[in-house]
């Protein structure tokens, strides 16, 4: 028998995750649709694949799972406001920041993020109430800095352990 929803949510809160914004252009390229995720991960080095999960009932779901390309911006510790903005359900939120355009696939990217990844959608896998989006990495760039993390329903920064 599966565990209860309460126990599962508590277990999920015990897992820290890096915070990213996934963004796509809408079908007629007139608007940017973006979403904060803490499930972004590298999947394979050869070929270079990444993945993230998106809940079926989110407003961005249809645009993201039907897009052929997407951008992922791994946020820095000083971008909490960006994370909160795209975690909200407000409709016009993408117009409140100026996105950069990626040089490889012309996808929307958050300026100042630690890493910017441009992907072609490779596969969509269904997993319960989420879809797992797998992307083939066509281009990426990084910069030094501290990542923004999400843990126990709070944003925070990474602190290395002394002597580790």
DSSP assignment of 150-164 equals EETTEEEE--PPTT-
CB distance 109 to 71 below 8 Å: yes
* H, E, C per residue of 51-75: EEEEECCCCCHHHHHHCCEEEEEEC
Q: What is the pLDDT of residue 90?
A: 59
Q: How do the domains of the chain map onto residue ranges? A: 17-150
Task: Output the pTM of the full model.
Answer: 0.92
CA distance 138 to 65: 18
Q: What is the pLDDT of residue 1?
A: 66
CATH for 17-150 (3.40.50.300, 2.60.40.10, 2.30.110.10, 2.40.110.20): 2.30.110.10
Helix, strand or coil for residue 9? Answer: helix
Average pLDDT over residues 15-20: 93
Q: What is the pLDDT of residue 96?
A: 76
86-109 confidence digits (pLDDT tens): 997 655 566 678 999 999 999 999
Q: In angstroms, how far is CA 135 from the centroid of its own chain?
A: 12
Q: What is the pLDDT of residue 132?
A: 97
Q: Is the pLDDT of residue 76 over 60?
A: yes
18-67 confidence digits (pLDDT tens): 999 999 998 888 889 999 999 999 999 999 999 999 999 998 999 999 99
């Amino acid at each position: 028998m599966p565990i209860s929803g309460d126990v599962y949510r508590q277990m999920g809160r015990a897992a820290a995750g890096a915070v990213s914004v996934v963004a796509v252009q809408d079908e007629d390229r007139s608007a940017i649709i973006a979403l904060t995720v803490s499930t972004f991960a590298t999947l394979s080095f050869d070929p270079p694949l990444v993945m993230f999960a998106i809940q079926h009932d989110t407003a961005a779901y249809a645009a993201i799972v039907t897009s052929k390309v997407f951008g992922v911006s791994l946020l820095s510790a000083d971008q909490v406001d960006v994370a909160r903005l795209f975690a909200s359900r407000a409709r016009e939120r993408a117009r409140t920041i100026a996105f950069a355009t990626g040089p490889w696939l012309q996808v929307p990217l958050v300026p100042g993020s630690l890493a910017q990844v441009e992907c072609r959608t490779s596969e969509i896998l269904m997993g319960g109430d989420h879809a797992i989006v797998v992307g083939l990495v066509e281009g990426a760039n990084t910069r030094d800095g501290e990542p923004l993390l999400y843990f126990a329903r709070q944003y925070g920064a990474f602190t290395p352990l002394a002597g580790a």
